[in-house]
Structure 1
Amino acid sequence: MRTTLELRDLVRFYPKRGNRTLVDRGLLVSYTGEDRTCTLLRLDGTLVTKKVDDIAVVDRSSIHVGQMVGSASDVGGQIGVVTGFTTDLHLVQLNERGGATKNQILGVSPAGLRRVRALSLGDYVLSGSWLGRVVAVPLDVDVLFHDGAVCRTNVAFYPGERVTAKDGSATVFKGSRWLSGRWKPEHEIGTVANVEMAGVFVYWIASAQHGTKQQLVQESAPPPYQQPDSLAYLCSAPDCSWRLGDRCFLLSDEQQHISSLQAHSALLPTMTVANSNTTVDVLWQDGTRQYGARSTSLSPYDFIMEHDFFPGQCCVVDNAPGHTIDGVAGDGVGAANGSTRRVGVVRSLNSKDQTVHVSWFKAASTRPDGEASGLEVECDDTMSAYDLGRDPDHSVLHGDVVVRVLSSVIESTPAAQQIPHAKSASADLPWVGRVVDLNDGHVQVKWSDGSTSLVIPHEISVANKEHYTQLYAEMYGWEWDEEEEDDDDVGAPPEFDAANVVNGPHDPADARNIEGGDCSVNELDGPAATTQNVEAPTLVSTVSHEDPNVGGAVMEVGLADPVERSDASVDDSNDDSVDDVVIKAKDAIGDDGPFKFPNFDVLKSPPDHHYLDTADQGSSGGKEWVKTVQKEWKILQDNLSETIYVRAFEDHIDLLRVAMVGASGTPYQDGLFFFDLQLPLSYPNVPPQVYYHSFGNRLNPNLYASGTVCLSLLNTFDGEGTEVWVPGTSSLLQVVVSLQALVLNDQPYYNEANYEHLVGTPQGHRHALPYNENAFLLTLRTMLHLLRRPPRGFEGFIRDHFRRRGRYILATCEAYLQGCVPADHGRMELSCSTGLRIALDNVLPRLRAAFTQLGDEGSYQCTASSHQHPTNILV
């Protein structure tokens, strides 16, 4: 088995000469796939470049509780979550030249150590009834000179280090505060005598009174700057692991009982981590537990899909027809009013079949004394992973920091009728803790006072999980430089400028390029760079990880009397008998003859257009702007393909509505997708605004459920060259063609930001196939939405499209249920998992009924029963 390479791995290499010693190890800080070389940070703080074939991974101490991992020997297999780990450290003392001395200690537990900087960036801290994250740690560093003089600066160094001015002058020390003696020109080289935290900057994320409600927390939170002795340490940042080169103090038994924030570094010898050995406990998706696995046998997994569930996860909600999530039916249509969502707990997941074993809970019951009787299982069931969803407010995992929820919040939860009444935070109960295990629908929490108890998910709320750099940016409006990012480095706010003092074995973290590196997951047998020769269309864009409109309402306008309009000169908004008229554009030719719906037309603006309230109507754009818009209309009219339909509006020439048909061979095949566009008055210097009619579904990385379209061409995501909007070159035609061909493509999973390097890898394959399956299902559900709530101006088009293509859509569904493929199916890559078939069994009857109402009686049928699930096929 060849272990994959991960940033921050501890690796061993062999010098050409001499014996193997501790200096033959390094921390992987970068990796270049083209020439298969990597850069390593050694114990003495120097960097060395080695060939991949000349190194071996010896430890992976960066793994932490709550992290998702896969097996290094089966990177395309199931995923697990880390439930615990143990790390033994080898400590040494370094001499002035950065070499190890004879003072070495083996097998040291981190519990007996204190970092030189007692608080690390991202750590969770408490101040009374407030919970916060450390985002900056300014330091007081005392430098001792040969004549006994001592100056104090805020440079990030360790006790015992020899430091000098970077440019050879000693003026950098001149402006420092001198604790003993005074500055002299000969004060060029000194030794760091002591390092203490001068203060701590904290981003407050929760309180006992307000829970995790950020607005209320920020309005009444303590000041960000705090003295360390005013804080209590809760737990470390998730990724704050012990690594090669970390400096620490070895505490005595007595000192271990003292707060680590109170121990003075001047009284303790400085030790350095020279080696580590980490074993890991993992809970796998199939419900099995593994204890004491070598860290090198696991690979961190950063690419988790929404349908990757883990045993013990609670508040799993049934997304199938007949149930609701926050009042919205699982498939968006047809659920009876008053139907409630089901709450359960995951027992196991079969990652190949995409099926989940779930235990559904009964409604809450109480004993005669009025106390809640606890969670009771009503039944067990095997569900499709695509019919399940997580409740984001109450879904917890191992390692999460949580706070108790106030009783008023608990009582207002959607599932309050199905769970026992929970205990609220009170003076006699600890209010903040960390999840240590999940058990039969309950969450085991270790509280801040050291006690442990079981709670139900609705009793707690997960505290802020953003990276500390994001929290820092919110506080100071500052963009973090990823190349300088480091878990242990000093993150001083702008008023704490560090002096440029470097020499000798300085902080190894200063040279790390952990989060901002060129690779994140690289295989020894197939580095990411080897996939770069896979050409992607220049216009394709990737979706960002943050949706700027999360939580925004999705416009859904119901129509009692659908209206079709084609003649722009006649106001027929109240006439539902107007037939489609062919004008200005070529017919779209389908399987059953001409389909008389023009690809381009000019109508009156519809009342349900997303940008109608902010439309400029073109009245203030000026003649040149109007000419530009009309020129764009002409380009669209003459060049649209027969599967893209555009409506412009004579009374709002800055608005357009676009419909497009999903291409054959993609999971969006035969589906309809609608976009509303607005041309700003500054157009074409800036791109149009685009809104996607999602109906609450996220069926593509670039298309958010909120309607946001994330695309480089729209300047809603990063890009360069022709990927971004170029005034005078880019056009509306380019936008609509890109949406159809490059966004709604046959492998949408790789549209996700930074996922392109997974093309051709087992990790990518593991996710791309189920992503296609889910996109296919969401496309079917979108069809039901469109038939029930068609966008204005396209009512007849939608009916006629599904009347004509309904039989083929149903044939495709039946083909996947039965393993037979219709002749015109194309070669859409779906894995035909059992989970897909179960989900199709749920949606197909509703789809068939909807198409039958349109008058298409020629639905394709397979002779076999739809409930027979043959072995998975790939067509």
Structure 2
Amino acid sequence: MFTMFSDLGKGNVTDSSDSEDFDDIESMYEGQARSIFSSLDESIGKIDDFLAFERSFLHGDIVCSVADPSGQLGRVIDIDVSVDIENAYGKTIKDINSKDLLRIRSFCVGDYVVHGSWLGVVDRVIDLVTVLFEDGAMCVIEKPDPAILVPVPPNLLEDSEHVYYPGQRVKGRLPSVFKNAGWLRGEWKSSRRECMVKHVEVQSVYVNWTSALTVGCAASVPPPRCLQHPKGLTLLLPFPHSNWQLGDYCILQFRNREQNHGTGVHGAHEWLLKCGNMLQKEGIDLEQAFVIVKRKVKVDVLWQDGRVSAALDSHALCPVDNIGDHDLWPEDVVLEKGSDEDGQDSGRKLVGIVQSVDAKERTARVRWMNSELDATAASIGKFGEEIVSVYELVEHPDYCYCLGDIVCKSQNQSLEDLKLLSSAPDTLLCDTFGKDVFCKRQIGENCKDLSKSFTSCIGHVSGLKDGAIEVTWANGAVAK
């Protein structure tokens, strides 16, 4: 017992000594500690901003309301994205509309491309980098090796796909990297080791060819070479403004007055001019690359009851992955279910377009038409609208398209001639096209104009309305 008190007394002496030592340490490191914690708070704030909760959605995604997850479902029909961007020197511009952003390169890994009658996916991109030296000399480097032409800090991000970007400072570890380059201005000097990336182009593209139209003389066309020049490829990029993600490289596009005149967005135009002037005053090149550091998404949703909610915050919606066979939406094309014993095929059953769905009662209001989707007044008057149980309806097997689907068509552009390409494993067998769909006038006597002709035959679904499918073709034309 006395030993315990004795130990406690010794402990008190030790505590006093430790307290004095702590006071000495605190006075010695007080300034550094405050600095460390201040930096830590700032870093945590940046991490919180970077990890800000923002759900990503694509056109056609099925969603539900976070406030009512068991209620009706909706389909994403439009997306508006605004971003904050930052350059390598910490300069930030906020609330940029993603439609004002450009990609660093015209082609990226994963892009769909068209060459003749073939559809492929970009597998690899080879860069062609133009660099500018301080004395005004300029050269072009083909297939630069990142181990030899290295970035000079500060760098935007470590990105295996975009090693080089406009405005980036780089240094040659070996003299040969500049000696073997193509000089546009000036000539090689051994003293030139550090420069700035002026422009990044695509020199060549490796493509994995996945699908083809087997129509007419196109049926005998073998797949193109995997290595392609970018000028021979047509890019298929559905809804590019909605694809920007955190960490993506981009270039800010400043549109001039002529481009914005009469568009009804004068406020946005004036804002861009003001933003451009601000950048110039701070010495930032307008062609300089930025990285996306924050993203804000607004979503338009078509609900099952036919209502459209515009500009919803993405965090107010939740993605839905498990879709039932009887979950329908407005604009869906359906068939009367019937029985398997009645011997009717889909071409002889009534075809309808869903107008609205009651998710609780499990019923749908359907506008019936004939089997050829004839929306004329006579057809509608004959068949009219009807409230039907969703269990008595099935999705039409030939009209199940979603926004962003890659499709092809025959000459008459009718819905039954559209075929999905993106899901075809190797070769697309277009049985509905027929051997005479593409006439000689369209593809040329000896198929010499094959590449150009098929850009008006392959595209993506960009809209669905009243049973009509809006398609944006690879050549930019829009048709229904």
Q: Does the residue aligned with 2:231 lie in a helix, a strand or coil?
A: helix
Structure 2 residue aligned with 1:335: 342
- Contact 1:141/1:154 (8 A) holds in 2: no
- Contact 2:351/2:373 (8 A) holds in 1: no
Alpha-carbon offset, residue 194 of structure 1? 4.5
Q: How far does the alpha carbon of each residue in 1:303-339 deviate from its partner, in whole angstroms, 9 at most, with x for none? A: 333332221012x223332xxxxxxx2xxxx325789
The answer to whether 1:306 aligns with 2:312 is no
Structure with greater proportional strand content: 2
- Whole-Å Cα distance in 1 between the matches of residues 79 and 245 of structure 2? 15
Q: Does the residue aligned with 1:25 lie in a helix, a strand or coil?
A: helix
Structure 1 residue aligned with 2:267: none
Unaligned segments of structure 2, at least 5 residues: 1-37, 147-160, 260-284, 419-436, 443-452
**Alpha-carbon spacing, 1:225–1:384, altered in 2? closer, same or farther (3 Å):** farther
AA partner of residue 123 (structure 1): D
**Alpha-carbon spacing, 1:386–1:89, altered in 2? closer, same or farther (3 Å):** same
Select 1:158's aligned residue among 139, 156, 164: 164
Q: Does the residue aligned with 2:41 lie in a helix, a strand or coil?
A: coil
The answer to whether 1:25 aligns with 2:25 is no
Q: Does the residue aligned with 1:302 lie in a helix, a strand or coil?
A: coil
AA partner of residue 86 (structure 2): V
AA partner of residue 312 (structure 1): E
Q: Does the residue aligned with 1:125 lie in a helix, a strand or coil?
A: strand
- Whole-Å Cα distance in 2 between the matches of residues 252 and 284 of structure 1? 36
**Alpha-carbon spacing, 1:425–1:204, altered in 2? closer, same or farther (3 Å):** farther
Alpha-carbon offset, residue 346 of structure 1? 1.7
Structure 1 residue aligned with 2:83: 89
- Contact 1:132/1:206 (8 A) holds in 2: yes
Q: How far does the alpha carbon of each residue in 1:379-427 deviate from its partner, in whole angstroms, 9 at most, with x for none? A: 43333434433234321123333322356998899xxxxxxxxxx7785
Q: What is the correspondence of 1:855-866 to structure 2 with a 5 Å cutoff?
A: none
Select 1:390's aligned residue among 387, 391, 395: 395
Alpha-carbon offset, residue 228 of structure 1? 1.6
- Contact 1:119/1:137 (8 A) holds in 2: yes
Structure 2 residue aligned with 1:485: none
Q: How far does the alpha carbon of each residue in 1:597-617 deviate from its partner, in whole angstroms, 9 at most, with x for none? A: xxxxxxxxxxxxxxxxxxxxx
* Bigger relative contact order, structure 1 or 2 (CA pairs below 8 A, ≥6 apart): 2
Q: What is the correspondence of 1:579-618 to structure 2 with a 5 Å cutoff?
A: none
- Size of the aligned set, in residue pairs, is 360
Select 2:302's aligned residue among 283, 308, 321: 283
The answer to whether 1:64 aligns with 2:48 is no
- Contact 2:301/2:310 (8 A) holds in 1: yes
Q: Does the residue aligned with 1:70 lie in a helix, a strand or coil?
A: strand
Unaligned segments of structure 1, at least 5 residues: 1-13, 28-55, 258-265, 322-328, 414-423, 455-875
- Contact 2:50/2:293 (8 A) holds in 1: no
- Whole-Å Cα distance in 1 between the matches of residues 287 and 344 of structure 2? 68
- Whole-Å Cα distance in 2 between the matches of residues 255 and 136 of structure 1? 37
AA partner of residue 124 (structure 1): Y
- % identical equivalent positions: 28
Alpha-carbon offset, residue 84 of structure 1? 0.8
Structure 1 residue aligned with 2:448: none
**Alpha-carbon spacing, 1:389–1:22, altered in 2? closer, same or farther (3 Å):** same
Q: What is the correspondence of 1:757-768 to structure 2 with a 5 Å cutoff?
A: none
Q: Does the residue aligned with 1:66 lie in a helix, a strand or coil?
A: coil
Structure 1 residue aligned with 2:467: 441
Structure 2 residue aligned with 1:231: 233
**Alpha-carbon spacing, 1:391–1:222, altered in 2? closer, same or farther (3 Å):** farther
Structure 2 residue aligned with 1:720: none
Select 2:358's aligned residue among 344, 350, 367: 350
**Alpha-carbon spacing, 1:412–1:144, altered in 2? closer, same or farther (3 Å):** closer
- Whole-Å Cα distance in 2 between the matches of residues 88 and 356 of structure 1? 36
Alpha-carbon offset, residue 134 of structure 1? 2.9
- Whole-Å Cα distance in 2 between the matches of residues 236 and 364 of structure 1? 28
- Contact 1:139/1:154 (8 A) holds in 2: no
Q: How far does the alpha carbon of each residue in 1:152-192 deviate from its partner, in whole angstroms, 9 at most, with x for none? A: 52554132456799xxxx68x989984279999x98x9865
Q: How far does the alpha carbon of each residue in 1:578-627 deviate from its partner, in whole angstroms, 9 at most, with x for none? A: xxxxxxxxxxxxxxxxxxxxxxxxxxxxxxxxxxxxxxxxxxxxxxxxxx
**Alpha-carbon spacing, 1:302–1:239, altered in 2? closer, same or farther (3 Å):** farther
Structure 2 residue aligned with 1:319: 337
**Alpha-carbon spacing, 1:69–1:112, altered in 2? closer, same or farther (3 Å):** same
- Whole-Å Cα distance in 1 between the matches of residues 314 and 332 of structure 2? 24
Q: What is the correspondence of 1:56-135 to structure 2 with a 5 Å cutoff?
A: 56-57=52-53, 59-60=54-55, 62-95=56-89, 100-101=90-91, 104-127=92-115, 131-135=119-123
Root-mean-square deviation (CA, aligned residues, Å) is 4.7
TM-score (norm 2): 0.60
**Alpha-carbon spacing, 1:383–1:218, altered in 2? closer, same or farther (3 Å):** farther
TM-score (norm 1): 0.35
Alpha-carbon offset, residue 300 of structure 1? 2.6
- Contact 1:86/1:278 (8 A) holds in 2: yes
Q: What is the correspondence of 1:346-425 to structure 2 with a 5 Å cutoff?
A: 346-363=354-371, 376=380, 378-405=383-410
